[in-house]
Chains A and B, each alone.
Chain A
């Protein structure tokens, strides 16, 4: 019943489909006695988590795949209890500390302390350290990142930390300099085609090349998304035809419609409707920065060259404010208002020109 993404995920470093040189390097890294903190960075769906799991398997053997879920509770200084889901084996622990929201600092400190204060006592244990995998570290608050820096130093004897990050720009330099950075670039379209074809072969379905290219176009070089799309397409229509509809992410469709609405009418009433739609997206759990990015892309795609620069200027201004502010909708709305104003002026000017 598992999804194809998980079913066909490579489990060993040497079985990875692309970045084979890098896999070789990682394997060599494990042979060495010393092992540094690592930071995997790269776009979403490039295979960071897959590589981390392969690396852990290389370090500790198959025992790493005996996973268990554990709910850990932390108490904040204000006596609030936070529960965090962790996945771990005997050798490692995987957490997403940004789930704790503004209390992520407590999670980072307490969790690493708990894990790091116990030594490995397995006599034939291959390694004398445990590994903590922290995902989405770039979503952590600055506070938590500084706390992480401190604990990384303190417990280096008993544990290593592997970070998984989308963008290094949002990780403080102090952490970056303490880790060995490993870039996982998004796969090239050709690599993705070979992956998709390998999967269809194993699933015993025939995948036309044209459809595969179309899926890859839609997936924005996100391999996870491509495989999920492939499976969804198979569910919707099989045998495949080259021109069949490809399932799109519904929030992307919704965002595109929102952008079109902004372009059709520029008025306070419309702005209020757009606000409601943005609220809906936020309520669905789509992160505000993803909404912002998607919205800007859709708007810029459809507008004249002359107002693109201005649009992007405002987008950067309000995105920056949104990162530092508390109410995301305020900044999203302010950006939409600015764009509406620019666009309306542009249209009015264009009408004037037409009249002459």
Chain B
């Protein structure tokens, strides 16, 4: 029964190791043989129709089997390639292959050499913090450099299962169970891994490097806990320690901001190396390398490298994330995979005007991937810039749709509107145009204050953004620093001062606003004279 089922279910994971593939599509003849058997029951029911369908199906079956035969051939030859994790294939092996700026590599290399020197001088261990956006090659850089300089990397991974000890000696089951603390586990890792050699290591090499990329959960809850641990580690630890942190837009999730504050960095002299998103040229080189790997046998059986146009759009839509670019490249170049859809990038009107003036600068027609590709996140400052200096496309539409900008800030609409309000005036050249913008913001505030309907926040924000963008017919250009919105703290300002209260009756009930309007001026004069 089991085998029969397997024969007609074609595995989706056609790239799995050959053992499993063998069963599914090993021999097309087997499939053919078993086909009649499968339809035994249906044959009984549709006895008279069976003949007709059989005739119709005849040639298509033939085609199917041919195709299957071809596919199975390809898979069998590639079984050895696809068996491994394909992303490992492209991992950089040499320093030259890293998609990181050479200056940054040099910085990291110098730090590693510095660690060696300090160790010889019996100085305390060195700490390093490596930050950068996701997919900029932080981990790859550490691994390649460590290999190059013969360091053994030991990396901390959060234990998924906490060791539950159910039975202690003679105690009854379930009474004394306790979980080992993650803090202790992390401390133990730092202590042991830096001092003792792993069983798999070659004897004689004591160059070890500790890597923490997967931050233990307790650090997220209590960022100060790290300080105590590092205090110990600086004394007892023997190996340099690298923390790798991915930059995030949200301050609450930003580990490098929350855990590694300036005091901590100062105290332990943590060397902070921050990487930038991969530059387009470096990314291009890396893509070239990937493509050349694809063209080499045995991988050329599996891949057909895409056109340079597609590669360009992959690079563009990856936005400096090399991991993302590699994944897109892999799936777009697999044989039999559909062509990735691209959409042309709209050029702004300004750029076309530029072209007519200076013909030397030819603008390449660019396109991004349509559905895959990195999600574009806009920072607040970015969005403000788009609002205050609206750009128009050739078809006279806005280049950045107000609806998109509004959508990006729908979680904190009031804050965003406050920022717009605090900064919009200097960008307007004429009071006539300000009128519409101010009116829009006032309406926006009115709508945002209506709390009973959730979707109104988006509509209100959209309205405000639209008004400010469209009202600004001839924006003032130039550098204008962004100001934060003013906070009104009326509570403190309007508290009746102690000095004034000597003039008021001992038991009065004058409200703060009443005092501010009616009494304040006169009380100040009268109290000044006394």
Q: How far is A248 from B518 in the complex, measured between Cα atoms in Å?
A: 10
Q: How far is A285 from B490 in the complex, measured between Cα atoms in Å?
A: 6
Contact call A1/B503, Cβ cutoff below 8 A: yes
**CB < 8 Å neighbour of B431 from A85, A98, A267, A327:** A267
Contact call A326/B445, Cβ cutoff below 8 A: yes
Minimum CB distance partner of A227 in chain B: B522
Which of B32-40, B220-228, B420-428 has 4 or more CB atoms under 8 Å from chain A? B420-428
**CB < 8 Å neighbour of A271 from B431, B502, B526:** B431
Report, as a range, how many residues of chain B touch the other chain: 35 or more
Q: How far is A338 from B431 in the complex, measured between Cα atoms in Å?
A: 9
**CB < 8 Å neighbour of B445 from A98, A249, A285, A327:** A327
Contact call B488/A229, Cβ cutoff below 8 A: no
Report, as a range, how many residues of chain A touch the other chain: 35 or more
Cβ–Cβ < 8 Å partners of B442 in chain A: 318, 321, 325, 330-331, 333-334
Cβ–Cβ < 8 Å partners of A331 in chain B: 442, 445
Cβ–Cβ < 8 Å partners of A85 in chain B: 509
Smallest CB separation, B444 vs chain A (Å): 8
Smallest CB separation, A312 vs chain B (Å): 17
Chain A proximity mask over B508-528: 1 for CB below 8 Å, otherwise 0: 110111111111111101101
Contact call B517/A290, Cβ cutoff below 8 A: yes
Cβ–Cβ < 8 Å partners of B310 in chain A: none
Q: How far is A271 from B431 in the complex, measured between Cα atoms in Å?
A: 8
Q: Is there a chain A Cβ closer than 8 Å to B357's Cβ? A: no
Contact call B494/A69, Cβ cutoff below 8 A: no
User: Assuming A2-B505, A285-B513, is B431 touching A268 (CB within 8 A)?
Assistant: yes
Smallest CB separation, B282 vs chain A (Å): 44
Q: Is there a chain B Cβ closer than 8 Å to A247's Cβ? A: yes
Q: Is there a chain A Cβ closer than 8 Å to B359's Cβ? A: no
Task: Give the contacts of B471-495 with A (CB-CB under 8 A).
Answer: 486, 488-490, 493-494
Contact call B525/A87, Cβ cutoff below 8 A: no
User: Assuming A6-B504, A279-B486, is B434 touching A228 (CB within 8 A)?
Assistant: no
Q: Is there a chain A Cβ closer than 8 Å to B142's Cβ? A: no
Task: Give the contacts of A45-92 with B (CB-CB under 8 A).
Answer: 45, 67-69, 85-87
**CB < 8 Å neighbour of B516 from A232, A251, A325:** A251
Minimum CB distance partner of B436 in chain A: A337
**CB < 8 Å neighbour of A135 from B441, B488, B489, B509:** B509
Task: Give the contacts of B427-481 with A (CB-CB under 8 A).
Answer: 428-432, 434-435, 438-439, 441-446, 448-449
Task: Give the contacts of A302-329 with B (CB-CB under 8 A).
Answer: 318, 321, 324-327, 329
Chain B proximity mask over A202-229: 1 for CB below 8 Å, otherwise 0: 0000000000000000000010110011
User: Assuming A232-B522, A232-B525, A283-B488, is B429 touching A135 (CB within 8 A)?
Assistant: no
Contact call B503/A235, Cβ cutoff below 8 A: no
Cβ–Cβ < 8 Å partners of B425 in chain A: 268-269, 271-272, 275
Cβ–Cβ < 8 Å partners of B525 in chain A: 232, 235-236, 247
Chain B proximity mask over A225-251: 1 for CB below 8 Å, otherwise 0: 100110110011000000000011111
Cβ–Cβ < 8 Å partners of A229 in chain B: 522
Q: How far is A331 from B525 in the complex, measured between Cα atoms in Å?
A: 33
Q: How far is A83 from B162 in the complex, measured between Cα atoms in Å?
A: 48
Q: Is there a chain A Cβ closer than 8 Å to B507's Cβ? A: yes
Q: Is there a chain A Cβ closer than 8 Å to B529's Cβ? A: yes
Q: How far is A252 from B445 in the complex, measured between Cα atoms in Å?
A: 27
User: Assuming A87-B509, A334-B438, A341-B431, is B515 touching A231 (CB within 8 A)?
Assistant: no
Task: Give the contacts of A245-300 with B (CB-CB under 8 A).
Answer: 247-251, 266-269, 271-272, 275, 279, 282-287, 290
Cβ–Cβ < 8 Å partners of B434 in chain A: 268, 271, 337, 340-341
**CB < 8 Å neighbour of A231 from B430, B435, B441, B526:** B526
Cβ–Cβ < 8 Å partners of A266 in chain B: 431
Cβ–Cβ < 8 Å partners of A27 in chain B: none
Cβ–Cβ < 8 Å partners of A225 in chain B: 518
Q: Is there a chain A Cβ closer than 8 Å to B155's Cβ? A: no
Q: How far is A42 from B330 in the complex, measured between Cα atoms in Å?
A: 79
Cβ–Cβ < 8 Å partners of B489 in chain A: 283
Q: Is there a chain A Cβ closer than 8 Å to B301's Cβ? A: no
Contact call B431/A340, Cβ cutoff below 8 A: yes
Cβ–Cβ < 8 Å partners of B430 in chain A: 267-268
Cβ–Cβ < 8 Å partners of A2 in chain B: 503-505
Contact call B431/A285, Cβ cutoff below 8 A: no
Cβ–Cβ < 8 Å partners of B488 in chain A: 279, 282-283
Q: Is there a chain A Cβ closer than 8 Å to B418's Cβ? A: yes
User: Assuming A334-B442, A337-B438, A341-B431, is B494 touching A285 (CB within 8 A)?
Assistant: yes
Contact call B518/A6, Cβ cutoff below 8 A: no
Contact call B432/A341, Cβ cutoff below 8 A: yes
Task: Give the contacts of B370-420 with A (CB-CB under 8 A).
Answer: 414, 417-418
- Counting chain A CB atoms within 10 Å of each CB, the highest count among B438, B523, B529 belongs to B438
Smallest CB separation, B184 vs chain A (Å): 36
Q: How far is A197 from B20 in the complex, measured between Cα atoms in Å?
A: 109
Contact call A337/B431, Cβ cutoff below 8 A: yes
**CB < 8 Å neighbour of A286 from B435, B513, B530:** B513
Cβ–Cβ < 8 Å partners of B426 in chain A: 268-269, 272
User: Assuming A228-B519, A286-B516, is B421 touching A327 (CB within 8 A)?
Assistant: yes
Cβ–Cβ < 8 Å partners of B435 in chain A: 334, 337-338, 340-341
Cβ–Cβ < 8 Å partners of B441 in chain A: 330, 333-334
Contact call A284/B494, Cβ cutoff below 8 A: yes
Give A contacts to B, CB under 8 Å.
1-3, 6, 44-45, 67-69, 85-87, 94-96, 98-99, 135-136, 222, 224-225, 228-229, 231-232, 235-236, 247-251, 266-269, 271-272, 275, 279, 282-287, 290, 318, 321, 324-327, 329-331, 333-334, 337-338, 340-341, 344
26 pairs from A and B in contact (CB 8 Å cutoff): A1-B530, A2-B503, A45-B518, A85-B509, A87-B509, A96-B509, A135-B509, A222-B518, A225-B518, A235-B525, A249-B518, A266-B431, A272-B426, A284-B494, A285-B490, A285-B515, A290-B513, A321-B443, A321-B446, A325-B445, A326-B448, A330-B442, A337-B439, A338-B435, A340-B431, A341-B434
Give B contacts to A, CB under 8 Å.
414, 417-418, 421, 425-426, 428-432, 434-435, 438-439, 441-446, 448-449, 486, 488-490, 493-494, 502-509, 511-523, 525-526, 528-530
Further 15 A-B residue pairs, CB within 8 A, beyond A269-B426, A282-B490: A1-B530, A3-B503, A6-B508, A136-B511, A224-B518, A235-B528, A251-B521, A267-B430, A268-B429, A279-B488, A283-B493, A330-B421, A337-B431, A338-B438, A338-B439
8 tightest A-B CB contacts, nearest first: A285-B494, A285-B516, A67-B507, A334-B442, A334-B438, A228-B522, A337-B438, A235-B529
